[in-house]
Structure 1
């Protein structure tokens, strides 16, 4: 792996927990309920897509690529009958401020200011062509709150990488179900965490696995064949390459990683993020 894609991978590992804690902390879930949304997953999809606008199930499934369309359809477009996208976005950002105010108390203001400025500078180098979800979050005006600015910058960077990951998967002919199955087969995550959270039924999972076996990508035990391993290696390499826009300013990226990694490690150690999760997030080095 060349220097820029490797740096892009390290940036994701260091910054992802700063974004992903929003899915596990109580404050965002409480904010979703208070604004009128029904249940965790309606809050998840409406909150994640609030920057895009009041999209329906089809667009929501395309943007939240790994999820079963039926799971998305149970939340969208119904969510927008309970709360507008603008209200959901406002409540989410307010919850982020409370959440990070609680979780990042040990962080010195000077470190917070430096890290936030660096991540925003990296966002400014990103190319958003074909990256609808990242572009939508990049369009959210930067607020006055330093904590929310930090989360927003981390969010844009992770969705930029995520949109690129979808491009890499689609290039290899992998849909959301096949992506999940091969992710599990690669040993990065458990079937329970992926299938349960993403909403695929046992029948869908088995049919998807059978299709991948016919293609020579899965073996009889559900592991990756050599061809499957090569495919997943290409996907991850392409994902890193496509994320390299974010680390064009290598010195700023390196400093951001050095500042973000210990914060993210602390979030993982504290239990703010579960050690086993469907993201397959490694502990930042």
Structure 2
């Protein structure tokens, strides 16, 4: 029996990859005081410029249960198994809602199989789990093989990123005003990562300036390269295409691997802001 793979919009998987691997996206939303957007439909540049102009940090919300119900039911009615891989359950209620909908649908389709997986992360650290699962599904793998493929990436994926400014972290309540001011004066850049055991973003290290922070991220990647080898590399950015191109070129020159560039969208980007640069890789 074939397997249909679902994820949410915070994976930021390219449209080309979504279409090629038949991945279905269930989008989250973002909300300003005067307008709201489905994440997959908003223009990223407009969104981030609005934050810059108004100073307002918007909120985000998970997809409504009905959206999961309709999407999952459509796949089940075709006789497909369902695998859903979603943003960390400590970052959003998306996974919990999907799990609740699964319980409802299993009463209607008791012979079906549905696996709702907590990725413990976001962006392409989530996306690569989804992509690997979808590759196995497209190749005809059963649901157990699809889940195993996602878990393989989960256990080996790394995500590091550096905000250009501490202002978004301050406005979002993730760093105090005094710390933000001192960090700005000293040109401090936090290197952030996602703890794959707890599913939470945390401070890994601090560096003086973006350049030094990026060098440190590259050093951490090289350590993993020497120990384990590398499988895939993604460069992430928030409205910083030139920085992303420079980092991509460094990685292409260093490793014999394709390196993709993908923008981070509003739901995740509203926490770190314009100029953020990062990378995801599988060791």
Greater helix share, structure number:
1
Fold conserved (TM > 0.5)? no
- TM-score, normalization: structure 1? 0.29
- TM-score, normalization: structure 2? 0.29
Greater strand share, structure number:
2
Q: Which has the higher contact order (CA 8 A, sep 6+)?
A: 1
